[in-house]
Amino acid sequence: MAEFNSVIAYIDGTSVPGRIAALEGGRGMMRVALDLDGTGVIATPGTELVLEMHDGAKFRVTVTEQAGDDAGDLRMKLLGKAG
């Protein structure tokens, strides 16, 4: 089993490791830190992607804003379960 709070983001056919940094209230918002270094992936507000949680559950999310100085520090909104 993967480490608790670890995620894999699937963006444009690329898998990017990361972790959930914080859950924000009951609105389906979360802060996620992705390791984008060397991937060539850019996640900007409006980017939709799939997050696979440490337990294998997959969810559709959208990037709402950059949440820190690093390009991989993102605030995301949960859209629903992924197929």
Domain boundaries, the chain: 6-81
Residue 31: predicted pLDDT:
96
pLDDT tens digits for 48-83?
Answer: 999 999 999 999 999 999 988 888 999 999 999 998
Residue 25: predicted pLDDT:
79
pLDDT tens digits for 39-51?
Answer: 889 899 999 999 9
Residue 68: predicted pLDDT:
82
Task: Give, in words, the CATH class of 6-81.
Answer: mainly beta
1 pLDDT above the threshold of 70: no
What residues contact 73, with CB distance under 8 A and at least 6 apart? 21, 31, 32, 33, 66, 67
Report whether 35 contacts 76 (CB < 8 A). Answer: no
pTM: 0.89
